[in-house]
Structure formats: structure tokens, C-alpha cells
Amino acid sequence: MGNKEKYEKAMALTEAGRHEEALSCVIEYLRAVPEDVEALNDAGALLHCLGRSGQAIDYLLRARQFGGDSPQILMNLIEVYIAAGKAGEAEALFDQAQEAGILNPELLNRTAKLFLDQGSQAGAVEVLLRSMDCWPGQEILEHMLTVIKSKRPRIAFFCGADGSTFLDPVCDYIRNRFEIRHFTGRTKDELYELMQWSDISWFEWCTDLAVIGSNGPKVCKTIVRLHRYEAYTDIPRQVNWTNVDVLVTVGNSFVMKALLNATGQISPSTSIVTIPNGVDLDAMEFVERPRGKNIAFVGNLRMVKNLPFLLQCMQKLHCIDPEYRLFVAGAFQDGALEQYMRHMINQTRLTGIVLFDGWQADVNNWLADKHYIVSSSIIESQGMGVMQGMASGLKPVIHNFPGACEIYPDEFLFNTFEQFCEQIQSGRYEPARYRQFVEQNYSQKQQLSKINELLIGLETQIDSQRQDEIASVN
């Protein structure tokens, strides 16, 4: 019997419900044609029908390895993963399934149940949230999520005086997964009371609230997120780091060095986790724009932003090509700096060349006619204004502040006035590549996923401690 006949016989046996015999024929056929994607898929499906999920997975993975990207193979693999109790592996394929148009609420809800059966509340929540996002109105899932959240750690957020700009998207994300509260009190007693309510207390900014919280009784897991400027103050030295479980930094090693210089050292019991800030790509409209001569600066106007240096860069560029313009979005936070800048713009004859547009509520609209995004800062944690500009398609031109080379490719960095002008005038202009850089390295989705992983890790520790306490009582 030839190979074709063997395969046809296998299909006939399958239709007759004689799965064991059909499988034998398919496997015999695959010995002669081992890379036949359709046959590998059929072998996986037959093994699944026979309850041999482990072997089925091997055949289906081989089918995908040899170019089998059909929705049917993908669906079979997901089904086999669920049958084998591999909820995580099934979930990892849901993005592809959604793109292929084969994801459905029944599949998601079965996976969520599997996670719950295996004791993974975190996994169940993620799948249920996806199900509700894709198919709103499933009231029973809302009830399930409420019940699951009530069994997970409670999280309290304490935001320092520098505002909640960076914290708001984190809270929006976390409140769908955990029960949360925000500190709105004024007294030390009120702060400790909320810490006692929580299982995890998150202190945004390493400032006064973090000092108070860390120096009180140890009643919960504690996270402190440090951005940048706090490392250059004396406040971190006042934190009792032995009571801090996790220090979250945004990823600039020079900021970390400054912190260690300020504190002497961080407690060995404190884990240091790097989670870069992320850009909300859905909020930043990408434009495939042509190369032009409008330069944008976005940020609060403080001394650390090094605007006098940027003014000198613009004066040099203006001498080379008077058509370039610098537009500045942001409010002055230092009266002396504003006075100096306006004075020097007049003295260097840059009136009408350097323009202050003030704080912008609609950054997308303001960036629409710009072509470059510039940073002249002496230090940044990352430079979120630059990343927002890149996400919109603007070419970045970044002063080489300490740590910049850890965040951005060297081609976007400059040290001198001359290098600034060279970068601006360079013929290379690739908006899609600038957007892609942010998508691949600094998306908000990546950031929030890492924060979720951090909280799940603490959740595991808390659950383990509670089990130990119960065991010791018994």
C-alpha cells in the first residue's frame, strides 16, 4: 500500500470512529513523510480523542514547527493543553487565537475554571478579564471576579506629594485584579490604619509617606517605587529599608548609584526590581510624517531640564538654517529660569524661533505638526516626553545624560552643539522605526504586566505564610 493510500485509509477509519486503527495508519504514514503538517495535526487530534494528551501535544507542536499555522491546528493545540491541565500554555496562545478569529468565551471560561481548580486565582482573573473585554455583559463573570478578588491580597496605595500621574494607570489596571484603597488621610495614625487593612502597601515616590510607613510597625508587605529625583535627596536615608520588601526603580543605573550614595546601602532583605515606565500606545496617535523643521520639547520646565543648553543648541542650528523652530510644551516651575530664558531668547535674537506654548492638555494634537522630539536634561529616569514623541513618529534627539545610553540607541544621543545640529539635519528619518522602538521596549502593557507579576509573587509569599501559620496552630 502506498503512502497516499495509507493516509486515505486513516481518514476513512477516523470517520468510522475507529480511532486507534486510524492513529496506527497515520503514524505509519508519518514515518515516510515526517513533515506532513496535515498528518501531524490529524495524529494530534486522534491522540487527543484517545485521551493521550501528552503525545498529542508533541505532534501538534511538530505540525506548527513545520509551518502549520492554520487556525485548526492552533485550536487543537489549545484544546489539548486544556485537557492536559496546562492552563498557562493554553493562555499563552490566546493572542494568536484572537488574531485568527477562533477565540470564544466558552474556551476562555473553561481555561479560567482550570486555573481555579489548580489554585491559580491570578491566572483565572487574567482569563476572565479577557473574556469580559472581548464579550461584555457576562454578569456571571463579574460576580466570579468579585469573589476571586475578595480572596486575594488587599492593596493600599500611598501617593507622595509629586502626584499620581505615573500611579493612575497602575491603579486602573490593578483594581480589576485586586481589592484596592487609596490613602486620603492626613495623620500618621490614619496611614498606619490603612497599612494594617492592607496585605500589600505601595508607596509611590520615595518621599515623606514612605519614610513614615517604613518606620512604623511591620504589618504588611511594603513596596516603594522610586522614580528619579528622590535619589538625589536625603529622604531615602530616612527610610527604614528593613521594613521594605521591594524597591521598584524605573531602570537607570546612575539613579540607582545616586540612591546608594545617599543611603549607604539598601537592606539585604529588600528586593530591587526594575520596571521601566511605559507609554500608553493607544493614547499616542502615530503619524507617518515627512521630515520637516519643527522641533518639540515636552516636559515640566525646571532647572534639571537644562533649557539654557538647549537654547545654545538652537542658536547654533539657527545660524546654519534659520527655518528650524523649537516649540516648548510645559509650564515653568522656576521663576528665575523663565526670566533667564526669555531674556536670552531676546539677546540671541531667537524671538519667534523658540516658542513657549505652555502646558498641553492634548499632546497628540500639539505634536501633529512636529518632526523631532528633543531632550536636553542633565538627568532623567527615562524621559517620558521623548518616548511619547517617538510613539507619535517623531525623531528623538537626546542629550547624553547619565544613563541615556542604557535606554536609547547611541544614534539618538548627542554631546555637543555640533552633534545636535548634525542629528537634526541628518537625512535619515524613519517615523515607523521610532514608534516600533517604544512598542518593543517601553509599552505600558509591558510595564503593567511586570507590575502584575511582582504583585503575584508577593501574593504567593503571603499565601505561603498564611499556610505556615495555619499549620503551626494545628
14 confidence band (pLDDT: 50, 70, 90): confident
Mean of the pLDDT values across residues 307-318?
97
139 confidence band (pLDDT: 50, 70, 90): confident
pLDDT value at position 30? 87
Rounded to the nearest integer, the mean pLDDT of the chain is: 92
Helices 431-441 + 384-392 axis angle, to 10: 130
Q: Express each pLDDT in 341-394 by its tens digit.
A: 999 999 999 999 999 999 999 999 999 999 999 999 999 888 899 999 999 999
Cα gap 52→406, rounded to integer Å: 48
- 3-class SS string, the chain: CCHHHHHHHHHHHHHCCCHHHHHHHHHHHHHHCCCCHHHHHHHHHHHHHCCCHHHHHHHHHHHHHCCCCCHHHHHHHHHHHHHCCCHHHHHCCHHHHHHHCCCCHHHHHHHHHHHHHCCCHHHHHHHHHHHHHHCCCCHHHHHHHHHHHHCCCEEEEEECCCCCCCCHHHHHHHCCCCEEEECCCCCHHHHHHHHHHCCEEEEECCCHHHHHHHCCCCCCEEEEEECCHHHHCCHHHHCCHHHCCEEEECCCHHHHHHHHHHHCCCCCCCEEEECCCCECCCCCCCCCCCCCCEEEEECCECHHHCHHHHHHHHHHHHHHCCCCEEEEECCECCHHHHHHHHHHHHHCCCECCEEEEECCCCHHHHHCCCCEEEECCCCCCCCHHHHHHHHHCCEEEEECCCCHHHHCCHHHEECCHHHHHHHHHCCCCCHHHHHHHHHHHCEHHHHHHHHHHHHHHHHHHHHHHHHHHHHHHC
Tell me the domain boundaries of the chain. Answer: 3-148, 152-278+447-473, 294-441
Say if residue 271's pLDDT is above 60: yes
Output the CA–CA distances (angstroms, integers) from residue 175 to 135, 148, 170, 444, 452, in the order listed.
20, 12, 9, 16, 11
Query: Does the fold of domain 152-278+447-473 match that of domain 3-148?
Result: no
Say if residue 474's pLDDT is above 70: no
Say if residue 122's pLDDT is above 90: yes
Q: Are 387 and 442 in contact (CB under 8 A)?
A: yes
162 confidence band (pLDDT: 50, 70, 90): confident
pLDDT value at position 427? 84
Q: What percentage of the chain has pLDDT greater than the value 70?
A: 98
Least confident window among 185-194, 240-249, 378-387: 378-387
Q: What CATH class is the domain 152-278+447-473?
A: alpha beta
Cα gap 224→187, rounded to integer Å: 19
**Beta strands 372-375; 354-358: pairing state:** unpaired
Say if residue 287's pLDDT is above 80: yes
**CATH homologous superfamily for the domain 294-441:** Glycogen Phosphorylase B; (3.40.50.2000)
Q: Express each pLDDT in 411-430 by its tens digit.
A: 999 999 999 999 999 989 99
pLDDT value at position 2? 54
pLDDT value at position 18? 87
Q: Are 295 and 372 in contact (CB under 8 A)?
A: yes
Say if residue 4's pLDDT is above 80: no
pLDDT value at position 465? 85
Output the CA–CA distances (angstroms, integers) from residue 199 to 156, 196, 259, in the order listed.
8, 8, 27
Q: Which CATH number fits domain 3-148: 1.25.40.10, 1.10.540.10, 3.40.50.720, 3.40.50.10860?
A: 1.25.40.10
pTM for the whole structure: 0.88
Q: Express each pLDDT in 35-88 by its tens digit.
A: 889 989 999 999 999 999 999 999 999 999 988 679 999 999 999 999 999 999
Say if residue 115's pLDDT is above 60: yes
The amino acid at residue 92 is A
